[in-house]
Amino acid sequence: MTHSRRGVVAGVALAATASLIFAGCSAGPQSEATVDADGPVAIDFWYSVGGPAADALLKQVDAFNSSNDVDVTITPIFQGDYVETTAKLTNAVQSGDTPVLLQGGDTFSAYLHDSGLATAPEKIATFDGEPYHGDRVVDAAANYYTFDGELWAVPLMVSQPAVFFDAAKIEAAGLDGDNPPTSIDELFDWADEIFAATGTPGLVFHQNEWWNEQFAALDNVEYCTPDNGLGTEPATAFNFVNDDLVAVWTHFQKSLESGAIVNVGSDGVAAQNAFSVGQAAMLLASSASLGTTTAAADFDINAFALPVKTDGGGAVPGGSALWVLGEGHSDSEKAAAIEFAQFMGSSDVQQQIFEDTGYLPSNQDALDELLSSETDQPKLALLDQLTNTAKTPATGGCHSGAFGQARADVRSAIEAIAGGADVKAALETAQSKGTDQLVAYNERVDG
């Protein structure tokens, strides 16, 4: 049942990629002007998080609705996960009923940007005439949503992968969390050493394409070229296969086989659970999972940043962002959307979201304040990592509307590697299939 449902959703999303791009018209830049705030404005906001994350988000929506002085009311509407929301957006485009505000998942950024539905926040005329400025958005967080030097969405709930660990277990192997490894290869060495010294596997993470992207970014490699799709030209090819990455995955394969890395398959929750119950000393996971992992573990969780091997490299911050889909909406609706975006991106709100959920702050003032007030080791490590992440094309992550489809091939490659396949051949096959997807997508967009 789940599979068939996923199949339908994936199919709809696939159809979405094509039709949304054809249906969308280009959103022209607007002059910086004042929009009259003469009367109530009610706008829809499509969101895609559930559970406690939704509680935190809706709390802020309520706060905005009751506090804003321009009579704006935001109607939050849950539209399923990010894939389902995209599918629904496609339908809405056909009937001209798109929302003004949309919470977009990180990997959908290029797709939303290319659709022509979105308007860059800084180009939208506001109620008070003061245009939105993205200058207080944390550099590394803005990076993901900056196309050709322009910020296209306001980062809303930021997450970044990190290494979580049980200090007692790594100390038992004579290792010190205050002197973390300096490369992923060295991290895998740690896993081997912990396993050899204690008999407990050293590391666990799920087999997912996301890690391939992170490992490449840590080495300052642009995952797709040119410029990870963030420059003036769209990405035309994947370019992640190199000797270092092949060596990392070969090491992974060896450690997985020896038992130093726990094999949980492609299930991220299983990886977190394995760590929480003490089946592994270290966990590679998103910062967003810190809260629930901490609640589940009966030991103190510590964290260090993903090891950056090459200057300019770093973990890619992702999560979700607030997109203003200006196409087809009035100036006052767009101005109302910007009011909300400003509120959600503000220091207070971002700090509150961090406290409530563990999503990292996207506002620089919030980040600075939390860095000086936070005392919890893993939280501080995550905040430090975000602060130290360089704003380079590599840490911006690959951007292409075909990225979602291409990722599936990398996932298959990683699963094949875990099963003992030839590392270089598997990665090269995924890279070449992915490049074909990019080329086909670019041809469709050029029409």
Partner 1 sequence: MRKSLAHAALFGYLAIVALIVILPLAYVLFGSIRPTPAVTGTLWDLVPTGFTWEHFASAFERAPLLRQMLNSALVVIAQTGLQVLTSVLAAYAIVFGGFRRPGLILGLYLVTMMIPNEATVVANYLTIRQLGLFDTLVAVFIPFAASAYSIFLLRQSFLSFPTEIKEAATVDGAGPMRFLFRFLLPLTKPTVMTVTLVSAIAAWNGYLWPLLVTESPAARTVQVGVKTLFDEADTDFGAGLAGLIVVSIPTIILVIVGQRFLARGLTEGAVK
List residues near partner 1 by CB under 8 A. 1, 5, 8-9, 11-12, 14-15, 19, 44, 49-55, 77-81, 84, 87-88, 90-91, 94-95, 97, 159, 269-270, 272-274, 276-277, 286, 288-289, 292-293, 295-296
Q: Dmax over Cα atoms in the chain, in whole Å?
A: 70
Please, which residue, 81 or 139, has the CB nearer to partner 1?
81
* Whole-number Å distance between alpha carbons of 165 and 172: 13
Q: In what side-by-side order are the strands of the sheet with 161-166?
A: 261-262, 203-204, 282-286, 161-166, 301-305
CB of 12 to partner 1, least distance (A): 5
CB of 224 to partner 1, least distance (A): 24
Please, which residue, 1 or 178, has the CB nearer to partner 1?
1
CB of 319 to partner 1, least distance (A): 9
* Whole-number Å distance between alpha carbons of 151 and 119: 10
Going by their DSSP bridges, the two strands 41-47 and 72-78 should be labelled as: parallel
CB of 139 to partner 1, least distance (A): 23
* Whole-number Å distance between alpha carbons of 68 and 74: 11
Listed residue (284, 343, 318, 392) closest to 127, CA to CA: 343
Q: Indicate the SS3 state at residue 236.
A: coil
Please, which residue, 247 or 270, has the CB nearer to partner 1?
270
CB of 291 to partner 1, least distance (A): 8
Please, which residue, 286 or 342, has the CB nearer to partner 1?
286
Please, which residue, 102 or 124, has the CB nearer to partner 1?
102
Give residue 268's identity as a one-letter amino acid code.
Answer: G
Listed residue (429, 296, 330) closest to 41, CA to CA: 330
CB of 295 to partner 1, least distance (A): 5
Please, which residue, 273 or 412, has the CB nearer to partner 1?
273
Please, which residue, 95 or 232, has the CB nearer to partner 1?
95
- Lookup: tokens for 442: 């670019």
Please, which residue, 12 or 70, has the CB nearer to partner 1?
12
Please, which residue, 1 or 174, has the CB nearer to partner 1?
1
- Lookup: tokens for 408: 């599936």
CB 181 within 8 A of CB 190: yes
Q: Which residue has the tokens 């109620």?
A: 127
* Whole-number Å distance between alpha carbons of 343 and 168: 42
Helices (H) and strands (E) in the chain, counts: 18, 14
**Crossing angle of helices 423-446 and 243-258, rounded to 10°:** 130
Please, which residue, 220 or 357, has the CB nearer to partner 1?
357
Residue 176: count of CB within 10 angstroms of its CB: 9
Please, which residue, 14 or 63, has the CB nearer to partner 1?
14
Query: Residues near 433 by Cβ (< 8 Å), separated by ≥ 6?
Result: 406, 409
Q: Please state, in angstroms and as integers, the Cα–Cα distance from residue 419 to each residue in 249, 266, 410, following that order.
A: 12, 12, 14
CB of 11 to partner 1, least distance (A): 4
CB of 82 to partner 1, least distance (A): 8
Please, which residue, 97 or 128, has the CB nearer to partner 1?
97
CB of 384 to partner 1, least distance (A): 21
CB of 9 to partner 1, least distance (A): 6
CB of 127 to partner 1, least distance (A): 26
* Whole-number Å distance between alpha carbons of 2 and 8: 10
CB of 181 to partner 1, least distance (A): 25
Render 5-69 in DSSP notation, one character per residue. Answer: HHHHHHHHHHHHHHHHHHH--------S-B----S-EEEEEEE---HHHHHHHHHHHHHHHHH-T
* Whole-number Å distance between alpha carbons of 119 and 102: 12
Listed residue (387, 372, 411) closest to 314, CA to CA: 387
